[in-house]
Amino acid sequence: MNNNKTKVAVLVSGGGTNLQAILDAEKTGIIKSGEVVLVVSNKTGAFALERAAKAGVKGVTITRKAAGSQEAFEEQLTKTLEETGIQLIVLAGFMSILSPEFIKRWDRKIINVHPSLIPSFCGQGFYGLKVHEAALAKGVKVSGATVHYVNEIPDGGEIIFQKAVRVYPNDTPEKLQLRIMKQAEWKLLPAAVEKLSAEIISK
């Protein structure tokens, strides 16, 4: 653990492909100012935790079901984050809406990646393949990804980075999802982690 680096926690719910992109960017030196020191899953047995273990990063599972309520879940989460000295939180495929109180506590310290060009196809109910299904149903020619600060409105926080990705006539939601991940999400998210980590340690 490097004391000159921003301590980053990544919150996950599933496979952790965006987590992998961050870990890889750390290894290749794209992320120089931050270090992932904690991965938290809100789903038992999430593959993302195996990715964390492989990278030598501490992984923990905190579920709302086990905690008993959203409040208790967030209390446990806050305790874990604070004990680890976390300075930046990255939501990477984290399928749980956090309360306004939690978000306020970590104001401008939580970022999320969304698989569309916000304000298109975002907000409540738009996640995973649903975003790409909606984009294709609308017939858009360009989609992409957005990294933004998290505020109390789902996908409503200030935009940090966006990248456009072309949509092709024969696209399926799965094809479009993969292209957006490869061309946008996996590039933007590490870039945002580096940008904010550098800002945090320079303060």
Give me the count of residues in the chain: 203
Q: Which helix (H) or strand (E) holds 37?
A: strand 34-41
User: Could you identify the residue written with the tokens 């020619």?
Assistant: 141
* Catalytic residue of the set 51, 109, 114, 132: 114
Q: Where are the alpha helices (DSSP H) in 35-139?
A: 47-54, 64-67, 70-83, 100-105, 129-138
Which residues, other chains included, contact 97 with Cβ-Cβ below 8 Å and sequence gap of 6+?
Answer: 154
User: Could you identify the residue written with the tokens 């969304």?
Assistant: 114
Q: Is 148 a catalytic residue?
A: no
CB 42 within 8 A of CB 64: yes
Residue positions annotated with a catalytic role: 114
